[in-house]
Amino acid sequence: MIQMSETIVPKIKPQKINAPVSGMTCASCVARVERSISKIEGIKNVSVNLATEKATFEIDNSLASLEQVEKAIENAGYKIDFSSLNKTSSSHTINDELKSDFNNKLRKDFFLAIFLTIPIFILSMGMMWEGFHNLIPISQNGVNKVLLLLTIPVVFISGKRFYKIFWKNLLHLTADMNSLVAIGTGSAFIYSTLLTLFPELFSDNTMVPHVYFETTAVIITLILMGRWLESSAKSKTGLAIKKLIELKPQTVIVKRKSIEEEIPIGELLIDDIVIIKPGGKIPADGKVVSGYSTIDESMLTGESIPVEKNIGSKVIGGSINKTGSFNYQVTAVGDNSILGHIIKMVEEAQGSKAPIQKLADKIAAVFVPIIILIAIITFVGWFFFSTTGFSAALINFIAVLIIACPCALGLATPTAIIVGTGKGAQNGILIKNAESLELAHRIDTIIFDKTGTITTGKPKVGSIITNSIDEQELLNLVGSLEERSEHPIAKAIVSYAKESGNKFENVENFESLTGIGLKGRVKSDEILAGNQTLMENNSIDRKIFHENINEFSKSSKTLVFVSINKELKGLIAIEDEIKNNSKEVVAKLKTMNLKTILLSGDNKHSVKDIADKVGFDDYRAEVMPGNKLSVISQYQKEGKIVAMVGDGINDAPALAQSNVGIAMGTGTDVAIESGDIVLMSGDLNGVVNAIMLSRQTLKTIKQNLFWAFIYNIIGIPLAAFGLLNPMIAALAMSFSSVSVVSNSLRLKKKILVK
């Protein structure tokens, strides 16, 4: 009998796409692009960012294709560029090229518009002056025809973008900011054109009604000016990413087959030997194989002091060599390097959405249709219920359309997020997403792991007490035994013994007794080295060191008991130094009204001693790594917003459970993946700065949203009641977006703790 084996189809992991989208101008555009992509089966986690002009989503290639996405977005009236996915250039570089083309076209359209609008405005204002017709002997209808000729290029060349998008929107029964501008200026232009070419339709032949060519031209010109200024300001929000990308040199000198050659950085391969000269940029990650130098890693880690590098030291791509020269072997290039990870993560963070943005998105989704409805009601009200008739109705209709500004709403949150995450990256604070940046300002409880976070994590011998044996002889015996172990405490003892000039003996019958110590025979003597449990298990009398044991047990030192031939001969006190700025950082956090807690698996006396020295509000001792998670859960059940600060590797479950996980990184891939926020240099001041940055960013977002909302709340009623000229409305609307972006840029000047 033949058995048929069942074919198991492996589950395909969704591909994450981050690509530039062109044509978006306001929050309504963002909502429409998101809806267009989300409707496609096999696509999830869609996020579109107006400030970065990018779409991020996950696609199951077995259910959907990028061609479907491209077609859906084009049908919505926009364009997405997937070319960066198949190129070595980053999506940011290609997006910059698209933005540059867009800005150049915008600038040309603006200058053409202003060149024609100035004479249009002068002629229109001159018609209201009695002496004007004496200077220029042309009839009013003749002047109107000149105005028409001057306005046509403004509308159909400079303003073409508004009407083109409006028409696409109309075909899909949707509307955005472009629709408001197109309807407003188009209404004024069509009415004025008909009045100029067919005056008999509107006049009783005793007077020529007023035309609104200047209104059309000035509004288009001012909005183009606003968008140009806004675009220029937005480009400054992404300077952090640009600076990170520029850290890579364009060319690199490598040694291949004993021959030095200069190659483009794109041709650099893993295991290549790179030659670095004084002042040169490190092109990729690697390990030093010859030479010595100091390297400035400040742009990556925020650490201002240059780091010494010698043979075996790791170097990070993007860092800058100082005075020495060295050769190193490449271990990672491109997106797989530390710098590549950082750039990708910052781009993703800047493209993500903060929860506070949901309110603005909900309003933006219905904003434009409501404004059009208000404008129609305004027109009907003024036309039928006022004595001023059609002209006033048209002007106020246009004013309502133009004053409305979903652009400011759409830019309020993402611009602040971009500047905030960029500033963080430049200071060695890697913030993974906008949600973490927003949530960090609400933290009220902050829990620190002890070893490697508050302390250096590098045990060292503090003191040695002996009984009837020379200290050097004791070190020789115990060092010989400890040399066989990989435990950090064993390494500390071995290092101390070597520094004292000891050369170790052979060890026989070596045993590593998990959790309690070591056992072995050195020069025919039976040596035991470990904790009190090891002594108890072997019935070793400890009375001779009773007072010393009591004294040390009240401190943060760890005791290693050494017995020779069943007799206790020595105590070695191991201490883990407290980091220089631990006390200062905890004090700063307490002034920020945060409860500080120390968490460790060490004994109660040791943890209490460090907690008291550093100044923690509370501590938890003898907590195993697996139980750290439950400690955090307990505080969360009490309604606390908890941040966990750990070394990024051993504390991964606790970091994941906390509301905001802050990993003390050293530039390693594991550390980068562990927390919501990664402190690249491992400097504790980064904890203070991350929370300060979150508070400053949220303050900026709230200011932006306030002005965006208040602007519309005040401006729309003024326009509806005829108290706002459409040209003034256009100027105000243009600068509302510029003001929001400019306010976000102020974050770059905020001072962080060093």
Strand residue runs (E) in 297-386? 307-309, 314-315, 320-321, 325-332
Residue 442 CB neighbour total at 10 angstroms: 14
Output the pTM of the full model: 0.74
User: Do residues 103 and 219 both lie within one domain?
Assistant: yes
The helix/strand/coil state of 39 is coil
CA dihedral 522, 527, 531, 532 (to 10 degrees): 180
Q: Name residue 47's beta-bridge partners.
A: 56
Res. 3: pLDDT tops 60: no
In a domain, 425, yes or no: yes
Alpha-carbon distance values, 575 to 455, 463, 487, 553 (Å)? 10, 9, 14, 12
Q: State the residue for tokens 């090891």.
A: 534
Residue with the two structure tokens 């492996």:
10
Tell me, yes or no, whether 4 lies in a domain. no
Q: Are residues 221 and 358 in the same domain?
A: yes
Tokens (6 digits) for 565: 């031939």
Q: What is the mean pLDDT of residues 377-390?
A: 87
Q: Do residue 523 and residue 586 come from a single domain? A: no
pLDDT in tens, 303-346: 667 888 889 888 988 888 988 899 999 999 887 888 887 777 77
List pLDDT tens digits, range 494-524. Answer: 999 998 888 888 989 898 887 788 999 998 8
DSSP state of 580: T
Q: Which of 521, 554, 575 is the last residue of a domain?
A: 575
Question: From its phi and psi, is residue 304 left (phi > 0), alpha (psi between -120 and 50) or beta?
Answer: alpha
In the block, which residue shows the tokens 């900011």?
A: 177
CATH number at residue 296: 2.70.150.10
User: Considering the domain boundaries, does residue 1 fall inside one?
Assistant: no
Flag whether 7 is in a domain. no
Report which listed range, 148-162, 639-653, 671-685, is most confident.
Answer: 148-162
Q: Which of 737, 658, 594 is nearest to 225 (CA)?
A: 737
Q: Per-residue DSSP letters for 705-724?
A: HHHHHHHHHHHHHHHHTT-S
Summarised one tens digit per residue, pLDDT across range 67-91 is 999 999 888 878 888 876 655 445 5
Alpha-carbon distance 440 to 235, whole Å?
26
Confidence of residue 1 (pLDDT cuts 50, 70, 90): very low
DSSP 135-172: HS---HHHHHHHHHHHHHHIIIIITHHHHHHHHHHHHT
- Whole-number mean pLDDT of the chain? 84
pLDDT at 2 over 50: no
Same domain, 403 and 502: no
- Where does a domain end: 575, 599, 620? 575
Burial, 597: exposed, middle or buried (Cβ in 10 Å; 0-12, 13-18, 19+)? buried
CATH of the domain at 561: 3.40.1110.10
638 in a structural domain? yes
With 60 as the cut, is the pLDDT of residue 106 above it? yes
Same domain, 203 and 260: no
CB neighbours of 556 closer than 8 A, spacing ≥ 6? 575, 576, 602, 605, 606, 607, 609, 610, 613
Domain with 373 in it = 98-239+350-416+702-747
Read off the amino acid at residue 747.
Answer: L
Q: Has residue 2 been placed in a domain? A: no
Say whether both 362 and 234 belong to one domain: yes
| CB neighbour class for 179 (10 Å; exposed up to 12, middle 13-18, buried from 19) | buried
Q: Confirm whether 10 is domain-assigned.
A: no
Q: What is the pLDDT of residue 382?
A: 92
Cβ–Cβ under 8 Å, residues 614 and 577: no
Annotated catalytic residue: which of 109, 285, 449, 609?
449
Q: Give the residue among 597, 589, 568, 545 at the shortest CA–CA distance from 684.
A: 589
> Which parts of 238-297 fold into alpha helices (H)?
239-245
CB atoms near residue 63 (< 10 Å): 13
Say what the alpha-carbon torsion angle 325, 330, 334, 340 is, to the nearest 10 degrees: -70
Tokens of 43: 């696509």
Give the number of domains in the chain.
5
pLDDT over 90 percentage in the chain: 29
Give the pLDDT confidence score for residue 337 in this predicted structure.
82
Is 666 found in the same domain as 731? Answer: no
For residue 298, is pLDDT > 90? Answer: no
- pLDDT tens sequence across 192-233: 898 888 877 665 544 456 788 988 998 899 888 888 877 777
Whether residues 671 and 600 fall in one domain: yes
Instruction: Identify whether 541 is a catalytic site residue.
Output: no
**Exposed / middle / buried, residue 269 (Cβ in 10 Å: 0-12, 13-18, 19+):** exposed
Domain boundary among 87, 114, 132: 87
Q: Where are the beta strands (DSSP E) in 393-468?
A: 429-431, 445-449, 460-466
Query: Is residue 599 within 8 Å of residue 631, measured between CB atoms?
Result: yes
Same domain for 168 and 283? no
Distance separating alpha carbons of residues 26 and 715, to the nearest angstrom: 18
For the record, the structure tokens of 328 come out as 């190193």
- Say if residue 446 is in the same domain as residue 481: no
Q: How far apart are CA 481 and CA 485, in angstroms?
A: 8
CB-based contacts of 597: which residues, under 8 Å, 6+ apart? 445, 446, 447, 448, 616, 617, 618, 619, 620
Kindly indicate the confidence band of residue 560, based on its pLDDT and cuts at 50, 70 and 90.
Answer: very high
Percentage of the chain lying above the pLDDT 70 cut: 89
The CATH number given to whatever domain includes residue 582 is 3.40.50.1000
CATH number where 58 lies? 3.30.70.100
Give pLDDT tens digits for 438-473: 899 999 999 998 877 888 877 889 889 999 899 999
At residue 98 the predicted structure's pLDDT band, cuts being 50, 70 and 90, is low
Residue 6 inside a domain? The answer is: no
- Contacts of 63-69 with C-beta under 8 Å, sequence gap 24+, read 64/40, 66/17, 68/40, 69/17, 69/37, 69/40, 69/43
Distance CA 482, CA 562 (A): 11
Q: How far is CA 242 from CA 19, 250, 279, 299, 630, in A?
A: 17, 14, 20, 12, 42
In this structure, the answer to whether residues 135 and 171 fall within a common structural domain is: yes
Same domain, 718 and 644: no
